[in-house]
Amino acid sequence: MHKLTFIPDSKCILGEGPLYKENENSLYWSDIKDKRIYKYDLNSKTVEHFQFQKTIASFVFTSENKLLATTNEGYEYLDLKTKEITSLINPEEELINNRFNDGKCDAKGRYFAGTMDNNEEKITGSLYCLDKNICVKKEKDLFISNGLGWNKNSSKFYLTDSPKRVIYVYDYDLETSTMSNKQIFVRIKDEDGYPDGLCLDEEDYIWSAHWAGSKITRYKADGSIDKIIELPVPNVTSCCFGGKDFKTLFITSAQKGLSKEELLAFPLSGSTFILETNVKGQKPNLYQH
């Protein structure tokens, strides 16, 4: 592992959803509470942000080079230039206190995304799959649906429920998007905080961010811990791989939930970090219309 650095001018209240765009050599992520999308150009080392009027929890790029997001009003297309928002589908229109959270596409280009009670009080979350603009519920009774991902051959699917301190693993059928044989992959100890966003590498190891845990844990496929990466902030929110060789780990964090004293003690809270690793990460999948 190499030295940890951070992206300047990028502090978020609740940084989430990092996503690397290979053809631009750029990293995108959102600030859920500030309703912004950030873009960091790795070539010019410059940061841009795009302000919207809706909560943006996760987003993916599509096969037509559009940006499709999960907002507080469902799946919606966002135009970064015009700020125009085009609604696609909202599977929880009647659950006014719910919002979407983390999401990703599988290898067939289906957009999986979970929901949660915005007040973090009730177990009203579900997991949805958007497949060619048809939305199907895949899982229910989630507290805060969070980090998710697949192993390299798409035979396993991982899903985090943060307050339960659990990452689940399912058998996954890529052809049908069927999830089965739900098991507890890991249960996080109280002193290690809460599992948040995650990503996988080419070796099928799982990298999980710890909210209130100041670290990222790399798990082997059997659930044992391979290594721990300590970070100078309490609330580590998510991570993804990118860079020209896909060995760069990008890590988001949050200021949310910290007192004034804690923000003074951990001044980099809310920053997005960069860590060069010696392992290649999985590339993100595009949404297929």
Supply the pLDDT for residue 271: 99
The reply to whether 196 belongs to the active site is: yes
In angstroms, the CA 287 to CA 289 distance is: 6
Supply the pLDDT for residue 231: 98
CA torsion 82-16-242-269 (nearest 10°) is 120
In angstroms, the CA 272 to CA 105 distance is: 22
DSSP β-ladder status, 178-187 and 156-161: unpaired
* Domains present along the chain, CATH in parentheses: 4-276 (2.120.10.30)
Which helix (H) or strand (E) segment holds residue 270: the answer is none
Q: Bridge-partner residues for 116, per DSSP?
A: 99, 144
Nearest of 58, 60, 59, 65 to residue 23 by alpha carbon? 65
Query: Which residue in the list 31, 106, 161, 196 is annotated as catalytic?
Result: 196
Supply the pLDDT for residue 289: 78
In angstroms, the CA 211 to CA 62 distance is: 29
DSSP state of 261: H
Main-chain phi, psi angles of 154, to 5 degrees = 65, 25
In angstroms, the CA 114 to CA 42 distance is: 30
Which helix (H) or strand (E) segment holds residue 251: the answer is strand 248-253
Which string of b and e fits 6-28 if b means at least 16 CB within 10 Å?
Answer: bbeebbbbbbbbbbbeeeeebbb
**Which tokens sit at 239?**
């991570």
Supply the pLDDT for residue 1: 55
DSSP state of 288: P
Cβ-Cβ contacts under 8 Å for 182 (sequence gap 6 or more): 168, 169, 170
Ordered DSSP codes for 5-68: EE-SS---SBEEEEEEEGGGTEEEEEETTTTEEEEEETTTTEEEEEE-SS-EEEEEEBTTS-EE
In angstroms, the CA 143 to CA 54 distance is: 22
Q: Could you tell me the mean pLDDT of each successive run of 10 residues in the chain, 289 residues long?
A: 86 98 98 97 97 96 96 96 95 93 98 95 97 97 98 99 98 98 98 98 99 98 98 99 97 98 98 98 95
Number of CB atoms found within 10 A of residue 46's CB: 13
Instruction: Please tell me whether the overall predicted TM-score, pTM, comes out greater than 0.95 for this model.
Output: yes
Number of CB atoms found within 10 A of residue 1's CB: 11
